[in-house]
């Protein structure tokens, strides 16, 4: 467990938004598990950080929450994307892609230097 990378705050928010877009309304545990699975278990979500992050997104109005019932009849708090959240997701995804692209150019082995 110790060698798994902890997810940083900014990216965690993006992952949460993406997860909710992909799977629709989901509870905190589900979101965490989904992120871990998607990363191929390379990431370990620290639950101590997940819940404050969810709260922050909710305070900012990107997600909303309500109590619901899980598949096996357990009461849990479900989060779902709001319209503002969808927009924010688009924007952040674009920003992220741009960032990675720029970084990739820097890191690509000496193409331009030739």
What CA–CA distance (Å, rounded) separates 83 from 29? 23
- Under the binding rule (CB under 8 A), the answer on residue 85 touching another protein is no
- Under the binding rule (CB under 8 A), the answer on residue 48 touching another protein is yes
Name the residue among 24, 21, 35, 30 with its Cα closest to residue 85: 21
Which of 5, 40, 75, 111 contacts another protein by CB under 8 A? Answer: 75
- Under the binding rule (CB under 8 A), the answer on residue 74 touching another protein is yes
Q: Say if residues 68 and 76 touch (Cβ distance below 8 Å).
A: yes
Which H or E element spans position 74?
none
Output 15 or 85, the one with its CB closest to another protein.
85
- Under the binding rule (CB under 8 A), the answer on residue 73 touching another protein is no
- Under the binding rule (CB under 8 A), the answer on residue 28 touching another protein is yes
């Amino acid at each position: 467990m110790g060698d798994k990378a902890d997810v940083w705050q900014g990216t965690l928010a993006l992952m949460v938004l993406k997860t909710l877009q992909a799977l629709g309304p989901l509870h905190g545990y589900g979101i965490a598990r989904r992120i871990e699975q998607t990363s191929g278990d390379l990431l370990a979500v620290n639950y101590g950080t997940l819940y404050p992050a969810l709260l922050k997104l909710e305070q900012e109005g990107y997600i909303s929450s309500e109590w619901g019932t899980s598949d096996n009849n357990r009461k849990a708090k479900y989060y779902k994307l709001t319209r503002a959240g969808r927009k924010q997701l688009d924007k952040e995804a674009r920003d992220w892609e741009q960032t990675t692209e720029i970084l990739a150019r820097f890191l690509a082995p000496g193409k331009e230097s030739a």
